Amino acid sequence: MEWILWDETMNTGHAGLDEDHRKLVALINRLADGLTNHKGAAFCRDAFGQLVEHVQQHFAMEERLMAEHGYLDAERHKAHHATLFEEVRVLSDAIEAIGAGASPSVSLLDFLEVWLKHHIDGLDRSLAAAIPGS
């Protein structure tokens, strides 16, 4: 079972952002699968690594769009990205422990779900409305 089910209410209306967000959901689901189904340390480490990499690329892509279009709320949005990235990055130790056999923490996966949905629903929706591509 998927941890996060994509639904149309998560679309911002910007094709590039929405495609990236769907990929983020898929990567969180892969990590959740590894953690909850005890797929082992190597699987979990790989899934987490892919998620972190995609988050980094995704934030960079949004920040390029902000620069290209002179987006007025860019500084606040970028500061939020920096906080979000740090919040995900520090999960690394917990992922390692779970991958090595500790019980998966549902709160950790809940955290990622809330983190993503809040990210999409707030600042990203405002960004999508302000730039071409919708």
Chain residues that interact with Fe ion, rule: CB under 5 A: 62, 124
- Counted residue by residue, the chain has a size of 134
Closest residue to bound Fe ion by CB: 124
Q: Which tokens go with 12?
A: 């911002």
State the Cα torsion 69-78-27-48 to the nearest 10°.
Answer: 140
Contact 82, 55 (CB under 8 A): no
Nearer CB in complex with Fe ion: 67/100: 67
Nearest distance from C-beta of residue 117 to Fe ion, angstroms: 11
Rounded distance, CA 47 to CA 32, Å?
Answer: 9
Contact 47, 30 (CB under 8 A): yes
Q: Which tokens go with 39?
A: 């797929």
Nearer CB in complex with Fe ion: 43/85: 85
Nearest distance from C-beta of residue 113 to Fe ion, angstroms: 15
Nearest distance from C-beta of residue 33 to Fe ion, angstroms: 22
Nearest distance from C-beta of residue 63 to Fe ion, angstroms: 8
Nearer CB in complex with Fe ion: 44/124: 124
Nearer CB in complex with Fe ion: 27/98: 27
